[in-house]
Chain A
Amino acid sequence: MLRTQEYFLNFGPQHPSTHGVFQIILTLDGERIVKAEPVCGYLHRGIEKLAESRTYTQVIPYTDRMDYLAAMLQNLGYVQAVEKLMGIEVPERAEYLRIISGELSRLASHLLATGVYALDIGGFTGFLLCFRERERVMDLLEELTGSRMTLSYARIGGVADDAPEGWLDKVKKLMDDMPGYIDEYNGLITGNEIFQARTKFVGQLTPETAINYSLSGPVLRASGVNYDLRKVRPYGIYDRFDFEVPLGENGDCFDRFYCRVREMQQSVRIIQQAIEQIKEVDGPVIAKVPKVLKPPKSDVYHEIESAKGIIGYYVVSDGSNKPYRVHVRRPSFINLGYLDEMLRGYLIADVVAILGSIDIVLGEVDC
Chain B
Amino acid sequence: MLENLFVGIADWLRSLLGGLGTPVEINEAIVMLVKLVAILVFILINALWLVYMERKVAAYMQARIGPNRVGPKGLLQTTADIGKLISKEIVIPGKADKVVFLLAPVLIFVPTLMVFAVIPFGKNMAAIDMNIGVFYLLAIASLSTLFFWMGGWASNSKYSLIGSMRVVAQMVSYELPLVLGLLGVIMIAGSLKMSDIIAAQEHTWFIFTQPIAFLIYFTAAVAETNRCPFDLVEGESEIIAGPYTEYGGMAFAMFFLAEYANIMVICAMATIMFLGGWHAPFGLDFIPSWVWFFLKMYALIFVVMQLRWTYPRIRVDQLMGFSWKVLVPLALANIFITGIGMKIYQAIGW
Contacts and interface: CB of A to CB of B under 8 A. Distances in A.
Nearest to B236: A16
Nearest to B166: A31
A349 interface: yes
Contacts, number: 79
Interface stretch (A89-97, A113-121, A300-308, A326-334): A113-121
A26 B231 CA distance: 22
Contacts of A17: 237-238
A350 to B, nearest CB: 7
Interface stretch (B122-130, B131-139, B175-183, B304-312): B304-312
Contacts of B159: 9
Interface residues of B, number: 28
A178 interface: no
B239 interface: yes
B80 interface: no
Contacts of A121: 237, 312-313
Given A16-B237, A119-B237, A194-B229, A347 B316 contact: yes
Contacts of A163: none
Interface in B53-76: 58, 61-64
A197 B318 contact: yes
Nearest to A31: B316
A325 interface: no
A197 to B, nearest CB: 6
Interface in B232-287: 232, 235-240
A129 B63 contact: yes
A9 B158 contact: yes
Contact of A349 (B62, B64, B235): B235
Contacts of A87: none
B331 to A, nearest CB: 21
Given A121-B313, A197-B314, A348 B162 contact: yes
B315 A350 contact: yes
Contacts of A348: 162, 238-239
30 contacts: A7-B158, A9-B159, A9-B162, A15-B240, A16-B236, A120-B237, A121-B237, A122-B231, A122-B235, A122-B237, A123-B313, A124-B58, A124-B62, A125-B61, A125-B309, A125-B310, A129-B62, A129-B63, A192-B312, A194-B229, A194-B313, A194-B314, A195-B312, A197-B315, A198-B314, A198-B315, A347-B315, A348-B238, A348-B239, A350-B315
Interface of B: 58, 61-64, 158-159, 162, 228-229, 231-232, 235-240, 309-318
What are the 3 A-B residue pairs with the smallest beta carbon separation, nearest first?
Answer: A122-B313, A123-B312, A128-B62
